[in-house]
Structure 1
Amino acid sequence: MAYQPTIWENREVERPRTFTMQNNPDGTVTLIPAEGVVNKPGTPIMAVNMNKIEDELVRQDGVVTKHLDDLVTHGVYGIATGTNALKMSVDNVTSYVEGMLVAFKNTTTNTGAVTLGINGLDNKSIRKSNGNPLTSGNLKVGGVYQVRYDCVNFILLGEGGEYGSADRPQVLTGYTIGTDNGVVSGTMTSRIGFVSGGSRSGAGSTYIDVTPPEGYYNGASNSGVRVTDSNFIPANIKKGTSIFGIVGTLGGQYAKGQAYNSTGSVEYLKLTNIGFQPKLVVAKKNGKSAKDGYCAIYYISNEIYGDLDFRISDDGRIYSNSSKVVSSSEFWLQVDSINSVLFNWEAFGYP
């Protein structure tokens, strides 16, 4: 029942603290109040009112005592000394109670699993909320921590509970992550731009496997793994074929046509604007075969024979074809024909 306070009022009279004096036969004097008109009688000071106050003081003493003994709702606080076997002294703890709350200020960083003993009672293990023992560095110097007793161990509060499987290698350098071993720094390298150092680990008819250096790649278009090979150039890829976006230029060059030879002291077959410098040119009179004569050949191959250059005259004799001009835009080839006649020609080249 809630305490009902007494409303105390002052006594108000016409003449406060005024008395008449009466002499008694035994020589004593009696003071008789002579207050005059009583304007307000006030609250009398009597046993019933005073006992009401006393009773409430007794009740409140019980409330305070119960409050002090309630270690679950209110808990206790103290200084914990030691490294891994903590000790502390506090008031009102004579036994461990299920759910009791204990707060303490730590004085030394722990180096392993930790126990706590209060007021000389048994040491109890301090565990994380997932049931695991503490590990080195979980309790810092000067840190204030709270634990609750579960009838077996003290459980560290606010510790974070369960952690995932990520550890240093799965976290980027420059970032940290909470683990069972406390906060740790990541060691994963962040790969920015094109990273060299990958190696070919396999290949098939349509693919190449590349093993990249370890690290994080953000998937941007300006980053990735680069494996170089000086032979991976268009000139080594078949002309018209695209391999990983590189279009090849390797392949023969060819042109053919007809032209009349010039006449004079030396007869030439002159061709222009063929688009490449030929390595082999064959020209013969229209309607004639090579065995009938009327054929001129120019061939150059530094890799095989060196220069091979000759012409076959109308009478079948072979002459050196030393008079010639060959460039990327034209060639003049000496032929053996006094009259201007039509020649069929073919030119071959390679890049």
Structure 2
Amino acid sequence: MQQTTNYALKKIELNDSPPDITVINPNWDTIDTELKENADALTTHLADYVKHPGISATSGTSKAYTVTLDPAPLDIPEFFGITIIPHVTNVASPTLTINGIGTIALKDQKGVAYAAGKLLAGKPYSFRKVGSDFLADSGSGGGGNLQPNQALAGFTFVNDEGEQVGLGDVDLIPVNIKKGVNIFGVVGTLAGIEAGNLKVYDVYNVTMQTNQTTPVPSISSLKVTLEGTYRLKYRLSKMGSAGLVCTVYGQIYINGVPNGILRSITSSTAGEYIDYTEDFTLKPTDIVRIYAWTSGTTYPTSYTQIREVLINLGFTEQK
């Protein structure tokens, strides 16, 4: 009598002498045993939530989620895995109960309890039981050592300690930012140096006297160290003998380029002068010189001199 290869089930043949159909009864016992063992193995397999994580939508509340798995686990061992789909967005520090077995905290991968609103309704989240908690299977979306006082106020971020809310820098305020400059939404009101009528510097050496017909620079100069708007007071004079008509010229140059208003005096009077004031926006390392020249008469000369630097320090006179 022949038998099957895997389970040795007996196969009746017509030439068996005598043919006996009763020999197939043990086949049914073998089949029954094998099917039961396979069914039990499948149940055990499906109930192994360490190797085969479960998945379920939640019920319960936004603070205490619950799920029911089938087959039901006997306990919640280490590394038990589950993916939940919250039915409602969480409040702070949510928990999960599976088939009524215990209440376990849900935390991010760093072990930090979730803040409200991190587990959104209808979105899947996977967890593994590690120690006494369910920790997120994937990262928390960030890391590093950025601290709340280093981030903009009200903005959230994630560092090695979990989700944080920026506190902002206490020094990031308008009075600490240059006027008109916008830094992260904070517009500065710090005026810095502005032109005014307060004399802060008497100038004696930035002068030029010449009878040349092309601009001649002063030997000395002013070098700017602080950015701002400065008011320069300077004098243009016609020097030489009386009675000789001549036009003299003077102009402020910044970094060798004419910047101020071209000034001139046409006169026959020796020593005649006019004082001018003019505002200039200057930046550090700018070089300020005064230039002078004449209309071409031999003896009369043009004399120019920067005399004062004036600014506004933020004070106004009260009557």
Give the TM-score, by structure 2 length.
Answer: 0.51
How big is the shift at 1:122?
2.2
Distance in 2, matches of 1:169 and 1:156, equals 27
Distance in 2, Cα, partners of 1:58 & 1:129: 41
SS state of the match for residue 39, structure 2? helix
Is residue 2:56 matched to residue 1:88?
Answer: no
Q: 1:116–1:8: structure 2 CA closer, same or farther, 3 Å change rule?
A: same
Identity of aligned residues (%): 15
The offset of 1:79, in angstroms, is 3.1
Q: 1:170 aligns with which of 151, 157, 165?
A: 151
Distance 1:226 1:51, change over 3 A: farther
**CA deviation string 1:245-299 (max 9, x = no partner):** 99998656577778xxxxxxxxx84354654656998xxxxxxxxxxxxxxx744
Candidates 128, 142, 146, aligned match of 1:148: 128
Shift of 1:345: 6.0
Q: Paired residue for 2:291?
A: none
Hey, what's the Cα distance between the residues in 2 that align with 1:89 and 1:58? 25
Which of 157, 174, 183 is residue 215 of structure 1 equivalent to? Answer: 183
Which residue in 1 is equivalent to 2:6?
4
Residue equivalent to 1:112: 92
Question: Any stretches of 5+ residues in structure 2 without a counterpart?
Answer: 207-217, 251-263, 276-293, 307-319
Residue 101 of structure 1 aligns with which residue?
81
* Cα pair 2:147 2:166 within 8 Å, conserved: no
Q: Which runs of 5+ in 1 are unaligned?
A: 13-32, 34-44, 189-196, 201-209, 218-224, 259-267, 282-296, 304-327, 332-342
Change (3 A) 1:10 1:298: farther
Q: Report if aligned partners of 1:99, 1:148 keep a CA contact under 8 Å in 2.
A: yes
Matching residue of 1:241: 222
User: How far has the Cα of 1:98 moved from its partner?
Assistant: 1.4
Q: 1:249 to 1:139 in 2, by over 3 A?
A: closer
Against the structure 1 CA distance between its residues 255 and 56, is the aligned structure 2 distance closer, same or farther, given a 3 Å change threshold? Answer: same
What is the CA–CA distance in structure 1 between the aligned matches of 2:43 and 2:247, rounded to whole Å?
A: 114
The DSSP-based 3-state class of the residue aligned with 2:97 is strand
Residue by residue over 1:51-95, the C-alpha shift from the partner in whole angstroms, topping out at 9 and shown as x without a partner, is 554443233123212213312111333332212122222232232
Instruction: Determine if contact 1:116/1:125 at 8 Å carries over to the other structure.
Output: yes
Distance 1:74 1:271, change over 3 A: same
- The aligned length equals 233
**Paired residue secondary structure (1:109):** coil
Q: Counterpart of 2:56?
A: 78
> Which of structures 1 and 2 has the larger relative contact order (alpha carbons within 8 angstroms, sep 6+)?
2
Alignment of 1:1-351 (within 5 A): 4=6, 46=24, 52-80=30-58, 81-91=60-70, 92-160=72-140, 163-164=143-144, 165=146, 170=151, 177-178=157-158, 180-181=162-163, 215=183, 227=192, 229-230=194-195, 238=206, 240-243=221-224, 269-272=243-246, 274-275=248-249, 277=264, 298-300=270-272, 329=295, 348=303
Q: C-alpha distance in 1, partners of 2:79/2:296? A: 102
Alignment TM-score, normalising by the size of structure 1: 0.47
| Structure 1 Cα separation of the partners of residues 167 and 13 of structure 2 | 80
Higher-Rg member (1/2): 1
